[in-house]
Amino acid sequence: MPLIALTGGIASGKSTIASRLAERGAVIVDADRIVRDVQAPGSPLLGAMVDAFGPDILTDEGALDRAGLGRRVFNDEAALARLNALVHPAVRAESARRFAEAFDADPDAVVVYDVPLLAETRAADPWDLVVVAHAPAGVRQGRLVELRGMSEDDAAARIAAQVADDDRLRIADVVIDTTGTLEDTLARTDELWNDLPRRVAEVRQTGSSDLSVD
């Protein structure tokens, strides 16, 4: 019943890896989906956010205006810290509930937590394995421009706003290099899946794995 954390910067290929692991039988718990669920209209968290930031963070329908809130906190460290102090505990509690639910349903399940902000918020949790999807910042910037239609400046700003690659790699037990083709990434993910019992056992015994998937 391993609990695996999968993380990576924006446009790192993390979602591709998560989808492949799901195809192989893993149970994926998506942190971004949890964030949306705990901020749903009528939720205690959304009420607390309105108290903290005012009713103008809501749309006319009473849902969270995510883009508007994002613009408000993007360059305001104090506001971002206030938001994170509300959101992170709610996400942590709900993710723990979903992990337990998955293992209750199947004690032998492989549960993968797809979480973009692991290095920032949850690096110290007792994961059996931390997997990092990695490509150099220049490659990821190119993907944001080509695949998501961002400008070069916007893409660079999005990458710069996240934790540095070195900090993310520092917490990795396994690194999947996604610089190459889609087929390369899928093959490396399959290799990880097939080698998962050994890697989990190695981390449990020694506290580290052999890092890369070639």
Domain boundaries, position 130: 1-26+110-214
Residues 20 and 48 in one domain: no
Pair 114, 127 in one domain: yes
Q: Are 21 and 120 in a shared domain?
A: yes
116 and 199 inside one domain? yes
Containing 134, the helix (H) or strand (E) segment is strand 129-134
Q: In the predicted model, what is the mean pLDDT of residues 76-83? A: 90
Residues 199 and 144 in one domain: yes
pLDDT tens figures, 138-167: 999 999 999 899 999 989 988 998 889 999
Check: CB of residue 110 under 8 Å from CB of residue 2. yes
Per-residue pLDDT of 176-200, as tens digits, reads 999 999 999 999 999 999 999 999 8
Domain edge (last residue) among 107, 132, 165 = 107
Helix (H) or strand (E) holding 148: helix 137-148
Task: Note the pLDDT of residue 214.
Answer: 53
Q: How far is CA 198 from CA 47, 167, 171, 189, 204, in A?
A: 45, 25, 19, 15, 10
Q: Are residues 103 and 114 in the same domain?
A: no
Q: Which of 85, 107, 129 is the last residue of a domain?
A: 107
The reply to whether 126 and 203 lie within a common domain is yes
What is the predicted pLDDT for the residue at 209?
58
Cα 126 from Cα 2, distance rounded (Å): 11
Residues 115 and 132 in one domain: yes
CB 10 within 8 A of CB 144: yes
User: What is residue 213's predicted lDDT score, i.e. its pLDDT?
Assistant: 62
pLDDT tens-digit readout, 18-65: 999 999 999 999 999 999 999 999 999 999 999 999 999 999 999 999
Mean pLDDT across 90-95: 94
Could you give the percent of the chain with pLDDT greater than 90? 76
Q: What is the CATH number of the domain that holds 135?
A: 3.40.50.300
Do 59 and 116 share a structural domain? no
Q: Is 178 found in the same domain as 212?
A: yes
Q: What is the pTM of this model?
A: 0.88
Pair type for strands 174-177 and 211-213: parallel
Residue 211 has pLDDT above 70, yes or no: no
Burial grade of 11 (CB within 10 A; 0-12, 13-18, 19 or more): buried
Question: Which pLDDT band holds residue 125 (cuts at 50, 70, 90)?
Answer: confident
